[in-house]
Amino acid sequence: MKKPIILSGMQPTGNLHIGNYLGALKHWVDLQNSGKYDCYFFIADLHSLTGDMTAEERRRQITMLAAEILAAGIDPETSTLFVQSHVPAHTELGWIFDCVTSIAELERMTQFKDKSVSQEKNINAGLFTYPALMAADILLYKPEAVPVGDDQIQHLELTCDIAKKFNKRYGDFFKEPKAVLTKTPRIKSLLEPTSKMSKSKGMGHVIELADEPAVIEKKLKKAVTATEGGEGSLGVENLLLLLENFSTDASYKSFVAAEKDGSIRYGDLKKAVGDAISTHFESFRTRRKELLENHNEIADILINGAHRASEIANKTLADVRKMVGIR
């Protein structure tokens, strides 16, 4: 029996931090390890062209992200891991979808509106048609479900609309994929616990998966706890949330109890959080280092992944080409 297909992608931006991990990568690994799905995961390098990164930086980020995805537990034998641009069918179906997507729909996308503000000097056409390429990424593989963060829900809804529009115009072909929204803890910045953990504010705000224990300890020492203005308790809440995700139940519960009865010592809490995270990512750090010292291994895995992905993608594209009359 064929297993249902799961597909998801990630842009090659920066070393992953704890927020990225709990928001996406951990779900990928859990879905793979459930054994219930045939998983396709890819690095969305074409989507990253809509941003401001230099070529050299992009190249570095792609390799780095591949190493981190593998080190976190994506097994290239079980799952198919590839780079989006290595499978040209994405670009071709993306163009076909550009031609069934209305401008009005694209104009409603909140990510486009946000990016038009955050990168006002580079509002390129790719940024605008981004969701049509994303729809192609998805529909090429006819997945049952797509694990995404809630910031991508609107794009996934548009993917369903594009599938419907295509079907109406050319004949019933694409199935609408479902979003898999798993419970995702909202990890906050260490220094500004009112906003979410993000590297754009500075390295002190985030814990990266690759951070060495000493670095984690140092960052946590500076994390906001009890201070004026109520921000402090949000900081404590955030540390407890990290503990809940990376430590034992007993340790988490004892700190929650201590917080309630006022006996909590923030130094101890920070130490417990630091130890838990350092331990959790110990084998990640080792494997990541090994992979980054051997780019050939990463390259082999990605080439192999692209072959496997192409088999499905090219078949879908061949059908679509016939349906739209260009073959």
Which positions make up the binding site for ATP?
11-13, 19-20, 149-151, 187, 196-200
Give the nearest distance from C-beta 277 to ligand TRP in angstroms: 23
Question: Which amino acid appears at position 113 of this protein?
Answer: K
The angle that helices 249-261 and 231-246 make with each other, rounded to 10 degrees, is: 160
Alpha helices in 171-248 (DSSP H): 213-222, 231-246
Of the pair 272, 312, the CB lying nearest ligand TRP is at 312
CB-side exposure of 246: number of CA atoms within 13 Å?
27
Which positions make up the binding site?
11-13, 19-20, 137, 149-151, 187, 196-200
Of the pair 148, 264, the CB lying nearest ligand TRP is at 148
Of the pair 124, 194, the CB lying nearest ligand TRP is at 124
Of the pair 21, 246, the CB lying nearest ligand TRP is at 21
DSSP secondary structure string for all residues of 58-99: HHHHHHHHHHHHHHTT--TTTSEEEEGGGSTHHHHHHHHHHT
Give the nearest distance from C-beta 160 to ligand TRP in angstroms: 13
Give the nearest distance from C-beta 181 to ligand TRP in angstroms: 12
Consecutive H or E run containing 263? none
Which residues are identified as catalytic?
Answer: 115, 196, 199
Q: How many CB atoms lie within 10 A of CB 235?
A: 23
Which residues of the shown chain bind ligand TRP in the complex (CB under 6 A)?
A: 8-11, 44, 47, 134, 137-138, 146, 148, 152
Q: Which residues pair with 40 in a beta bridge?
A: 7, 80
Residue nearest to ligand TRP (CB): 9
**What span, in angstroms and rounded, lies between the C-alpha atoms of 157 and 21?**
24
Give the nearest distance from C-beta 327 to ligand TRP in angstroms: 26
